[in-house]
Chain A
Amino acid sequence: MEKRRKRILLSLTIPAFLLIFMFMIVPLGNALRVSFFKWNGYSQKMKFIGLDNYLSIFSDKVFRTSTLNTFVYGFGSTLLQNIFGLSAAIFVNKQFKGRNVIRLILYMPIMISGVIMGAIQYYIFNFDNGVLNNLLNLFGIESIYWMKTGVRSVLIITLINSWQAMGFCMLIYLAGLQNIPKMYKEAALLDGAKKRQIFFQVELPLLMPAITTAVITNLIGGLKLYDIIVTLTNGGPNRKSLSLSYYISLLYFSDEKAGYSAAVGVALFLIIFVVAVPINQYLRSKEVEY
């Protein structure tokens, strides 16, 4: 009976495995193959150049800037999303009138696609006639060229991405908070624990599974950030706000360097793998059973 059950369960995973194989393993294998070629991305002819594409990565300034930006998008967004997401979850977990409306408002940005969010923010941060500058002008403050430098653009993108995905984090933490049995909190109260102590010493450790999910999901999402950048800054000024994902796309489609683009893609895969796996394992080791 147990053997039959296992067989059924195993057969149920086959569609998922097939999809992963077709849409992840095969493209990854193909990207690895293409990364050893000089190819414009559309011709039927490719030239084998060995490791040249990988060696070019080391002298590529744009790759360095994009990698740094990718880390800012990944870690910066993860930090902000989790701090604000957890704070929002604690707030909307309380009983008060209009709680559901507040939950909905906080969750709404994540329902908008990144491309549309970037386009909306473009008109907010636009130097000429942008919403933000128009507001500043009302108070007699001169317009600010928000996207003048790469650093500013990267920070603005990080803030927008954090704000947008905060609702998702809030939802994970809200579910986590509501899953914590009340008896632990009541026992702590009986022992004379203060609110702060209850949060840090009772609730937070019990929230570790939710923290693991939120951190890893946000981190991978941030490291792969693409859509907001396309419509908000288009990677500018001067390719200074590119993420590696967007850089890969530009290399392939705009610069017609498909082989090099594939090599950068493999590098991004390794970066995400090297960063996400240890963090995931560390966070899982901190999870507690209850």
Chain B
Amino acid sequence: MKKRIGMKQVTAMCLTACTVLASASGAAASEAADFGGKTIEIATYLSGETLAAYKEVIAGFEGETGVTVTLDEYGDDYESTMKTRMAANDLPDIFETHGWSLIRYKEYLTDLSGEAWAADLNKAALGVIQDTDGALYTLMTTGSCLGTAVNMDVCEAAGVDPWAIETWEDFNAACDKIKEAGYVPVANYFTSAGALANANGSWLSYEGEMFNDNEAMLNGTWDWENFRTILDYLQTWFDNGYLYEDCGTIKQADVIERCAKNECAFVVGIGTSFQAAVVAQNPDVTMGMIPICASQADGARFCGIGEGASFGIWKDTEEMEVCKAFLSYVAENADGINVAAGEISTLPSETTKSYGMNMMEEMESHYPEVFYDNLWDRKYMPSGMWGIFQNAAGMFCEDQSDDTKQEVIDYLKENYVDLYEAAQEE
């Protein structure tokens, strides 16, 4: 197990250094006052309340510095638009890196390791965004913590104690009780790659688990045969009737709605913003989070940490100093963004504990041994595999026969080899 970062470390680093940036903020603002009349372009995928909070930060920066910010709100088209802009080598001055600062965007980003705020980023954040040579390409103000979302009300009604769940065997036993009580145990949806990608570390990547294939995954020699174990396990969800009948066509918005109506109990491998969205729809629902289950007794209990709201600077921007001043300003004023996102803070500037942070602390009190690692696909898979996992999830959802399992494995392997080779040629 390479990177075990205790929750207490994460929380302590986030909350004990609140005052560190207070003095720096005044200096940064006065420096930034010379930028009047300049214009920068910022691209964002944020939406809803998080976007509103981000806009407030931008307005504050504009007010203090006289800089004009052009904000491109790409929403769901963010990735596609950014890919076309990368192809044209014409990027916005500042853009969000949403988990891909190292694998996808690195060649277009500025190394920010020398910035003042870089020293304040907590270890959980650095574990996700720092390159092997120490370079840092993004300001990560929030981290996405990915575990198993739990509808506590449904569990209580079914007589299930979610905190007692340790292994997948325990998880299935809980699901049986939930199903018996008339609820849908697992609300995972196979229109998302997450169904087939987010929990994989549980079997494949950590000490004490069934396999430890990390090295082979990272050097391109992985044969994917051990992935069959995951498919065999997921088949039990279908065979035992744990899933929604329309799990092959529903979207996250549907699952949020159903969870808010207390119809279902668990969503495996999802970030805390999911629970926040459920509670926003129905404040009476109690949501919680448990780690991803272990594949066997005494196995690793882990949660994924991914980039939440993360901002990088285009290496060819003509306004480098303005952009750096903007990121400093965001680092000092990220509190509103963190609270709106419902994720976990990675900077000591957070003064209000977010919904996600509270949830993590509650989980940590029940699972003191939980550890955090980068999102599995972002760490062990080449860029482009997310879409491939999504297709594979659709294939598997339609048919769980041995032939389809082999087809899924062959499909994943073929594309992994292809994308790995492409990444090596970069």
A interface, CB within 8 angstroms of B: 38, 40-45, 47, 126-128, 145, 147-148, 233-234, 236-240, 249-250, 252-258
Contacts and interface: CB of A to CB of B under 8 A. Distances in A.
A41 B398 contact: no
A256 B383 CA distance: 8
A145 to B, nearest CB: 6
Closest 5 A/B residue pairs (Cβ): A254-B387, A256-B384, A42-B86, A238-B394, A127-B246
A249 B84 CA distance: 12
A230 to B, nearest CB: 10
B391 interface: yes
B390 A38 contact: no
24 contacts: A40-B383, A40-B384, A42-B84, A42-B87, A127-B245, A128-B250, A128-B258, A145-B246, A147-B246, A148-B246, A237-B249, A237-B397, A238-B398, A239-B391, A239-B394, A254-B386, A254-B390, A255-B384, A255-B387, A255-B388, A256-B384, A256-B419, A257-B384, A258-B87
Indicate the member of A42, A128, A237, A257 with the most B CB atoms within 10 Å: A42
A47 B425 contact: yes
Nearest to A233: B249
A239 B398 CA distance: 10
Contacts of A239: 391, 394
Given A128-B246, A237-B398, A253-B79, A38 B86 contact: no
Given A236-B191, A258-B87, 19 more contacts: A41-B84, A42-B87, A44-B107, A126-B246, A127-B245, A127-B249, A128-B254, A148-B249, A236-B248, A237-B397, A237-B398, A238-B394, A239-B391, A250-B387, A252-B83, A253-B79, A253-B80, A254-B387, A256-B384
Interface size class of B (residues with CB under 8 A): 35 or more
Nearest to A41: B83
Q: Is the interface of A mostly helix, strand, loop or mixed?
A: loop
B246 A45 contact: no
B19 interface: no
Interface string B352-393: 000000000000000000000000000000011011101100
Contacts of A42: 82-84, 86-87, 104
Contacts of B419: 40, 256
Contacts of B82: 42
B395 A256 contact: no
Contacts of A254: 386-387, 390
Contacts of A257: 384
B211 interface: no
Nearest to B244: A128
Interface string B299-342: 00000000000000000000000000000000000000000000
Contacts of A252: 83
Given A40-B422, A256-B419, A236 B83 contact: no
A38 B249 contact: no
A238 B248 contact: yes
B246 A253 contact: no
A264 to B, nearest CB: 15
Contact of B249 (A43, A47, A236): A236
Nearest to A235: B394
A24 B129 CA distance: 41
Contact of A126 (B254, B390, B415): B254
A188 B89 CA distance: 67
A253 B83 contact: yes
Given A147-B246, A237-B249, A45 B426 contact: yes
Contacts of B251: 234
A239 B80 CA distance: 19
Interface string B59-103: 000000000000000000001101110110100000000000000
Nearest to B261: A129
Contacts of A41: 83-84, 87
Nearest to B80: A253
Contacts of A44: 89, 107
Contacts of B388: 255
Interface in B210-259: 244-246, 248-251, 254, 258
A153 to B, nearest CB: 8
B426 to A, nearest CB: 6
Interface in B104-155: 104, 107
Contacts of B390: 254
A42 B426 CA distance: 11
A236 B391 contact: no
Contacts of B395: 238
Contacts of B248: 236-238
A43 B86 CA distance: 7
Nearest to A47: B425
Nearest to B396: A238
Nearest to B423: A40
A234 B249 CA distance: 8
A38 B422 contact: yes
Interface string B182-223: 000000000100000000000000000000000000000000
A238 B383 contact: no
Contacts of B386: 254
A45 B245 contact: no
Contacts of B87: 41-43, 258
Contacts of A145: 245-246
A239 B395 CA distance: 8
Contacts of B244: 128
A240 B249 CA distance: 11
